[in-house]
Amino acid sequence: MVRLDAHINELDTPALLLDLDALERNIETMAEYIRGVPAELRPHEKTHKTPIIAHKQLKAGAIGITCAKLGEAEAMASAGIRDILIANQVVGEPKVTRLVNLAKHSDIIVAVEDSGNVRHLAEAAKSKGVRLNVIIEVDVGNNRCGTAPGDPTLELAREIANHPSLNMRGLMGYEGFCQNIIDLEERREKATEAMAKLVSTRDLLDDKGFSTEIVSAGGTGTHMITAEYPGVTEVEAGSYIFMDTTYSRVEGLEKYDPSLTVLSTITSLPRPGIAICDAGRKTITFEPSRPMPLAKGLEGIIYEASSEEHGRLSVEEGSGLRLGDKIEFIVSHCCTNVNLYDQFHCLRDDHLEAVWEITARGRSQ
């Protein structure tokens, strides 16, 4: 392992770097915002997959965490985190068995959208003597999972109520399609429409006597809208801790600083105007719908293309770039990048303060 206190230039590459000052500032900035609004924060763990970061978010006031996968929830539970929402469907054996076993050790809430899955969860919970918390996922326009707002959601609530081994906690509705809309007013309009569908469905269920104490929604791009929408009780923002080149363009997120970078070495200078670095698609994700990675603090160097192990940079004349030089890139999508690495190299003032294992990296099952 690399020596603690090493300078950034002593680190080998490619490496995933975390600027601790920026991370801590981002956690506090969100916590401060949340203290001023009615909703609570249940940050999404899929961004960092790392217990120590989840514990920092909880210490700053988060009421629990959100996970995307059962495997992530297991990793977080075994790191001592109790209050966990799995904002996703858990379907089929052996996952349902794992889920009810996990519910014996943590306060797990799981999303549901299908009556057959509800019956499966209920039977498994009953056979293990567990009362499993469930939340109905409502499709608020994301065109992914979820019941349709209104009566179809009410019908599923009726099915849940047939099973004493299930504890109905409320609704979730993720307005993912709004997150990256650059213009704040356009985003506000679309996210507000989505939240109206969610909260009116909550009102319908309330009228019929169903328990809906939780109404969960929101991501980094919409947190300032959903957290203020009357009736939303918690927001699931994740990326605000790291940011990336996609979120850096989104209006209203200026107070969050990029804290996550990939450190890379220039390995080839094949011809004037071109440099090759050692961060290709296996170490810095490439998603065509997103902007490219950005060379941190450097003008005139553009990450323009990548293959598996190579990144091609276009370099302005006179850049003075030499073989072996190191460049930090702000990534285009923080969550998928983290999943490529085993560890964060955590820096303060350009010196290595800690190395954190990304415990839930790859826990996709």
Is 14 a binding residue for ligand PLP by CB under 6 A? The answer is: no
CA–CA dist 53, 41 (Å, integer): 14
Q: How far is the CB of 194 from ligand PLP (least distance, A)?
A: 12
Helical H segments across the chain, by residue range: 20-35, 51-59, 70-78, 95-102, 115-127, 151-161, 184-207, 223-226, 334-338
Report in angstroms how near the CB of residue 163 gets to ligand PLP at its nearest: 24
Q: Which of 44, 69, 312, 363 binds ligand PLP (CB under 6 A)?
A: 44
Residue type, 305: A
Beta strands 40-41 and 234-235: pairing type? parallel
Distance between CA 257 and CA 201 in Å, rounded? 36
Shortest separation between residue 239's beta carbon and ligand PLP, angstroms: 3
Residue of 57, 179, 261, 265 interacting with ligand PLP (CB under 6 A): 179
| CB 56, min distance to ligand PLP, A | 16
Q: Pick from 238, 258, 293, 311: which binds ligand PLP (CB under 6 A)?
A: 238
* 318: Cβ contacts below 8 Å, ≥ 6 apart: none
Q: Which of 100, 237, 313, 352 binds ligand PLP (CB under 6 A)?
A: 237
CB of 87 to ligand PLP, least distance (A): 4
Output 246 or 265, the one with its CB closest to ligand PLP.
246
Tell me if 46 sits within 8 A of 67, measured CB to CB.
yes
Nearest by Cα to 217 from 140, 109, 145, 151: 140
Measured from the CB atom, is 170 or 238 closer to ligand PLP?
A: 238
**For ligand PLP, which residue of 87, 166, 171, 294 counts as binding (CB under 6 A)?**
87
Amino acid at 143: N
Convert residues 270-289 into a mask of x (bound to ligand PLP by CB under 6 A) and - (unbound): --------------------
Three-state DSSP at 241 gives: helix
Chain position carrying tokens 């009102």:
203
Q: Applying CB under 6 A, which of residues 64, 146, 170, 219 lies at the interface with ligand PLP?
A: 219
**Cα angle 299-301-304, degrees, rounded to a multiple of 5:** 140
Residues 262 and 17: beta-carbon distance below 8 Å: yes
H/E segment holding residue 306:
strand 301-306
d(CA 182, CA 213): 32
Q: How far is the CB of 218 from ligand PLP (least distance, A)?
A: 7
Question: Taking the chain, what is the end-to-end CA distance rounded to the nearest angstrom?
Answer: 29
Binding to ligand PLP in span 313-342, by CB under 6 A: 335
Closer residue to ligand PLP in complex, CB, 95/310: 95
- Tell me: does residue 293 bind ligand PLP (CB under 6 A): no
Phi-psi region of 297 (alpha: psi -120 to 50; beta: other; left: phi over 0): left
Asked if 220 touches ligand PLP (CB under 6 A), the answer is yes
Find the shortest distance in angstroms from Cβ 108 to ligand PLP.
16
Question: Contacting ligand PLP (CB under 6 A), which of 72, 175, 236, 244?
Answer: 236
> Phi and psi dihedrals of 142, rounded to 5?
-80, -15
CB of 230 to ligand PLP, least distance (A): 20
In whole angstroms, the minimum distance from the beta carbon of 129 to ligand PLP comes to 30
Applying CB under 6 A, which residues contact ligand PLP? 44, 47, 87, 174, 176, 179, 219-220, 236-239, 335
